[in-house]
Structure 1
Amino acid sequence: MRNFTVDLNPHRSVTLEATVFDRPLDSEQPTPLEHPRPAVIICPGGGYEFLSQRESDPVVASFLAAGFNTYLLRYSIGEHALGPNPAVDAARAVRWVRAHADEHGVDPTRVALLGFSAGGHVAGMLGTHWDDADLVAAERAEYEALVAEGVAANSGLLDFDSRPDAIVACYAVFSMDWVDRRSRPGLTFGDCIEAVSQATPPTFLWTTNEDATVPPTQSLRFATALAREGVEFEYHHFDRGAHGLSTATPLANADRAALPENAHAWLALCLAWLRATWVSR
């Protein structure tokens, strides 16, 4: 197993932290391990002000245990969470994983983009705007500038598709119409609900009825939009559980005395859904 960090945009401290399984040796044929593997790009939440630790390492560990290569995206936050920046970061991450799929033993047709809360918004922005001409133009301008500066990780990325093969959105933000816009970054592709189309990737989403930070109606409205456009999706609305549950296990919630009885089921449901969705294509 290898761990390494890719600098995608040093100006905004955007990185991709990879944990990938070693490729099987030529002598290991047939390989005893799945090869090539599915991949998941993880976007932690944090209200675009920080990146949540509980939604980082425990999630990486869970997907590694399920046989995924994992990539933790540290996208643009704080003063950098403006305009198209987070969506460009997500697009770049998907393109980069596909560009290095053979090297890392990844199946480039099984790349999921997973996000929690604000990270779910990042995933939603790319899932609904990946083919937007303005987003592609913003990507191109940024990539060319970074390559000229010597940031080699950006070279040739536009040769690869940025559309994720699935979106996983956990108690996610999908629009800014429920908050004071002055308290949130001005994101070019901020409304994901109205932007859902038949080209939106298959989506798994879940939330809880007790979430007092992001209204659970955000997920319900997004699911309704997916149904309207005929996009394949699975939606779970758990009755109990506060915001920020991550895997809803003690590993990710050492600061909480008690956890809801069944929200942890989202992970097994999601893993089963991902594999079934990809097999059925």
Structure 2
Amino acid sequence: MLLSVFCLILAAPALAQRAFDVQLWQKKVPNSNALGDTAYVKVFLPEEKRATGRAVVICPGGGYESLSMGHEGTDWAPFFNDQGIAAIVLHYRMPAGNPKVPVSDAEEALRLVRANAEAWHIDKDNVGVMGFSAGGHLASTVATLSKDEAKPNFQILFYPVITMLDGYCHQGSRKNLLGERPRKKDEQKYCTDLQVTRLTPRAFIALSDDDHVVQPMNGVNYYAELYRHDVPASLHVYPGGGHGYGLRTSFRYHIEMLLDLKAWLQSF
């Protein structure tokens, strides 16, 4: 039964999608870094007659050092397009110690989607953000700190990096985002669980109990803060799977995870 439902999730209509790339910064690039990275989005639009108006900006993971653009990015397009949801995969620049670099890219991606809402058949008030690992940190950062056109309406976080404090933090992400010797106020600012308010958008959080790369308490603490501030949230802790599985079918709970996410997306 599960296999049959899974096949329906990834059914043929997604093949009718429109796909194209858009450079994120058409003019001056803000917060440029020494790495010379290029920021752009890969846009996947569902068949026009199936479009629901919903869109999601996807931030792949990679420890703020690289990007897993496949299983944590473009591979997700058919899943969303089949539900009439536009998928916009963000190739953001690496921070190299300057957190404003990837944050400005994520914010601009959300603005870009809303600026093209009419042409892409998107509802400006139904644009979410999705992130994996360090990309989950980026997604939760714009969800908690960004304003106006750069603020998402919902967030989807997979095994996210949340804290920047010693103890539960992912050291590689912390170093790449904030540098070798981050200031205390920057550590606090980019602990996204500390930035949750009643205005933070609703969330879906998925992680595995045996994740030894990014400790599960990152996502659990974030959920606890959402709950404490009366923000609707759904937390899914799978018994196994480790870290970094994304859309890979080798993840033992792959089908269950997709069904959980689809059910959540249909709940609002």
Q: Structure 2 CA distance, aligned partners of 1:212 and 1:179?
A: 10
Q: C-alpha displacement at 1:77, in angstroms?
A: 1.4
Normalised to the residue count of structure 2, the TM-score between the two structures is 0.79
Q: C-alpha displacement at 1:180, in angstroms?
A: 4.3
2:72 equivalent to 1:55: yes
The one-character-per-residue Cα deviations of 1:127-153 (angstroms, maximum 9, x if unpaired) are: 11013xxxxxxxxxxxxxxxxxxxxxx
Normalised to the residue count of structure 1, the TM-score between the two structures is 0.76
37-46 or 11-20, which deviates more:
11-20
Aligned partners of 2:207 and 2:236 also within 8 Å: yes
Cα distance change, pair 270–84 in 1 and its aligned pair in 2 (3 A) = same
- Residue matched to 2:44: 19
Q: Which runs of 5+ in 1 are unaligned?
A: 24-32, 132-159, 251-258
The residue correspondences of 1:173-184 to structure 2 (distance < 5 A) are 173-177=161-165, 178-180=169-171, 183-184=175-176
Q: C-alpha displacement at 1:264, in angstroms?
A: 3.5
Cα distance change, pair 35–206 in 1 and its aligned pair in 2 (3 A) = closer
Aligned partners of 2:170 and 2:214 also within 8 Å: no
Q: C-alpha displacement at 1:100, in angstroms?
A: 0.4
- Residue matched to 1:271: 262
- Residue matched to 2:9: none
2:94 equivalent to 1:77: yes
Other structure's SS at 2:266 match: helix
Q: C-alpha displacement at 1:22, in angstroms?
A: 5.0
Q: How many equivalent residue pairs? A: 230
The one-character-per-residue Cα deviations of 1:34-57 (angstroms, maximum 9, x if unpaired) are: 344311111110101111132122
Aligned partners of 2:95 and 2:102 also within 8 Å: no
Identity of aligned residues (%): 28
The one-character-per-residue Cα deviations of 1:196-217 (angstroms, maximum 9, x if unpaired) are: 1111000110100111110011
1:164 pairs with one of 145, 152, 155: 152
Aligned partners of 2:159 and 2:207 also within 8 Å: yes
Q: C-alpha displacement at 1:267, in angstroms?
A: 2.2
Q: CA RMSD in A?
A: 2.0
Cα distance change, pair 244–16 in 1 and its aligned pair in 2 (3 A) = same
The residue correspondences of 1:176-215 to structure 2 (distance < 5 A) are 176-177=164-165, 178-180=169-171, 183-186=175-178, 188=186, 189-215=189-215
Other structure's SS at 2:119 match: helix
- Residue matched to 2:110: 94
One-letter amino acid of the counterpart of residue 209, structure 2: N
Q: C-alpha displacement at 1:245, in angstroms?
A: 1.1
2:84 pairs with one of 67, 82, 88: 67
Q: Which runs of 5+ in 2 are unaligned?
A: 1-16, 180-185
- Give structure 1 regions of 4+ aligned residues with deviation exceeding 6 angstroms: none
One-letter amino acid of the counterpart of residue 77, structure 1: M
